[in-house]
Amino acid sequence: MSITDILSPSDIAAALRDCQAPDSFSPKKFFQISGMSKKSSSQLKEIFRILDNDQSGFIEEDELKYFLQRFECGARVLTTSETKTLLAAADHDGDGKIGAE
């Protein structure tokens, strides 16, 4: 399964266009524009599985740098501050990684 089986390619493109400039990525805004915020729990878990590059069951900080590239291979890498912001927004237990839940 690919991410475009769950999210609209045009919504993904719009979300990527919105954060082309370094330090312009906002997780909440990206999730809204891409349509992720409207997906069911099972669809979000499938997206998580796709984003979990090493299939460890967690998305670690080093994987988050390449978050946008999981949506489109030519997308930019997140900056260090963007990566840390995304991690902080989703790492509820402070272990330095994001679980599917």
100 domain residue, yes or no: no
| Per-residue pLDDT, 1 | 84
The answer to whether position 25 is within a domain reads: yes
- Whether residue 83 is contained in a domain is answered as yes
Cα–Cα distance, 36 to 62 (Å, whole number): 22
What element of type H or E holds 9? helix 9-18
The CATH number assigned to the domain holding 51 equals 1.10.238.10
Could you tell me the pTM of the whole model? 0.90
Is residue 58 situated within a structural domain? yes
Note the pLDDT of residue 7.
97
Tell me the binding residues for Ca(2+): 52, 54, 56, 58, 63, 91, 93, 95, 97
Question: Residue 58 corresponds to which tokens in the numbers above?
Answer: 């967690």
Low-confidence winner among 2-11, 69-78, 89-98 (lowest mean pLDDT): 89-98
Q: Give the chain's domain count.
A: 1
Domain membership flag for residue 99: no
Residue count of the chain, please give it: 101
Maximum pairwise Cα distance, the chain: 34
| Residue numbers of the domain that contains 64 | 6-91
Is residue 95 a contact partner of residue 84, using CB atoms and an 8 Å limit?
no
In a domain, 101, yes or no: no
Residues of the binding site: 52, 54, 56, 58, 63, 91, 93, 95, 97
Helix 9-18 / helix 27-34 crossing angle, nearest 10 deg: 150
